[in-house]
Amino acid sequence: MKKKALMRLAANVRMDIVTEVYSASSGHPGGSLSIADVLAYLYKYVLRVDPKNPDDPDRDRFVLS
C-alpha cells in the first residue's frame, strides 16, 4: 500500500506541474517532472512538515539548488 500511495502522490504532483506550466504558457517542466518521485517520498515519509502549521520553528526545511 505504501508504494501505491506514493506512486499516486507523485502522479498528482506531475499533473499539478503540467497544469501550472500549461496555465503559465511558459516553463521547463522536465526537471520538475523527473524529481517528482523523490520529492513525494521526502515530503510524505522523511521531512517533518505540517501544512497546517507552516511556521513551526521545529519543521524541517528542504532546499533544492
What is the SS3 assignment for the chain?
A: CHHHHHHHHHHHHHHHHHHHHHHHCCCCHHHHHHCHHHHHHHHHHHCCCCCCCCCCCCCCCCCCC
| pTM for this model (two decimals) | 0.77
- Percent of the chain scoring above 90 in pLDDT: 94
Q: Tell whether the model's pLDDT for residue 51 goes beyond 70.
A: yes
**Rounded alpha-carbon distances, angstroms, from residue 39 to 7, 25, 31:** 11, 24, 12
Q: Tell whether the model's pLDDT for residue 1 goes beyond 80.
A: no
Query: What does the pLDDT look like over 32-41, one tens digit per residue?
Result: 999 999 999 9
- Over range 49-64, report the average pLDDT: 94
Q: How many CB atoms lie within 10 A of CB 10?
A: 19
